[in-house]
Amino acid sequence: MISTLVYCETKPNPNRQRGLIQAKGCLANEIPSVIQVNVSSEACPEDAFANEAGTFLLKSIKLMEGKINGLEKEAAQQAERQANEAKALKEQQAKENQALREEVAQLKEQQAKENQALKEGAELQARLSEALEQEIMILQPLKRPAIGIRNRFYGTFLRSQERNIISLPTIITEGNRIAHDGDVVTDTFLLKHDLLHYAGTFKTLYGVSWEFALGLCSMLPVPFAYSSF
């Protein structure tokens, strides 16, 4: 399609009908001056038909259309760039979120391993503490008898060497008493920890079971409970 425009200006007329006739007459007068003109740019030539005033108007319209088209194109390009930037930003954010989730998962796994190690360490420490307490409970009642008997052994040896030591008779006598006399506390703890196997003989010697004696020992003050009768 080819654009065609006849343009003119008329004086205002209070009578609308006469104003219309006047406008038509003005347009009719301008028709003979209509010529073929170029109303586009050199890059995009476009022919049109118009009178002189219409030519300027058409060129203005085409200029506005070109500017509008340029703005629309620029706006579309800008929108496309923004969409691409938003897409790239979203992808980057997704990668960062994924990396963060993986890092959090690794930290949780590491924390779980550390917690497990701490738990196992605490359990091992508890077992060691329990074993140590058990060992102490076994060894504590044996301390005095063991020292007394070993003192007796060394005292007897020194006496055989004719050493003149004033305390030798007392050491040997005490060792003999420990070795040959009854010791309900020590025997009770040895039976409790399965280091002696004479439960019946214990009852015959002391008149009570070792379990009953253990209950009595637990009621005594600690230093006394670990001393022999």
Q: What 3-state DSSP class applies to 76?
A: helix
Q: Give residue 42's pLDDT band: very low, low, confident or very high (50, 70, 90).
A: low
Would you say residue 178 lies in a domain?
yes
| Reported confidence tier of residue 221, pLDDT bands at 50, 70, 90 | low
Task: Tell me if 214 is assigned to some domain.
Answer: yes
Residue appearing with tokens 């006496």: 159
User: In terms of domains, do 62 and 135 share one?
Assistant: no
Residue 29 is part of which domain span? 3-78
The reply to whether 69 and 137 lie within a common domain is: no
Query: Which is nearest to 143 in space by CA: 202, 181, 182, 189?
Result: 189
Please indicate, yes or no, if residue 88 is contained in any of the structural domains: no
CA 30 from centre of chain: 85
Residue 39 CA to residue 61 CA, distance in Å, equals 9
Residue 100 domain flag:
no
H/E run at residue 151: helix 52-160
Query: Of 78, 112, 145, at which residue does a domain stop?
Result: 78
- Which of 37, 58, 78 is a domain's end point? 78
Three-state SS annotation for 106-118: HHHHHHHHHHHHH
pLDDT at 45: 65
- State which amino acid sits at residue 111: Q
Count of structural domains, the chain: 2
Q: How confident is the model at residue 225 (pLDDT cuts 50, 70, 90)?
A: very low
3-class state of residue 49 by DSSP: strand
Helices (H) and strands (E) in the chain, counts: 7, 3
| pTM (2 d.p.) | 0.42
Q: pLDDT tens across 127-141, in order?
A: 999 888 878 877 777
Same domain, 53 and 139: no
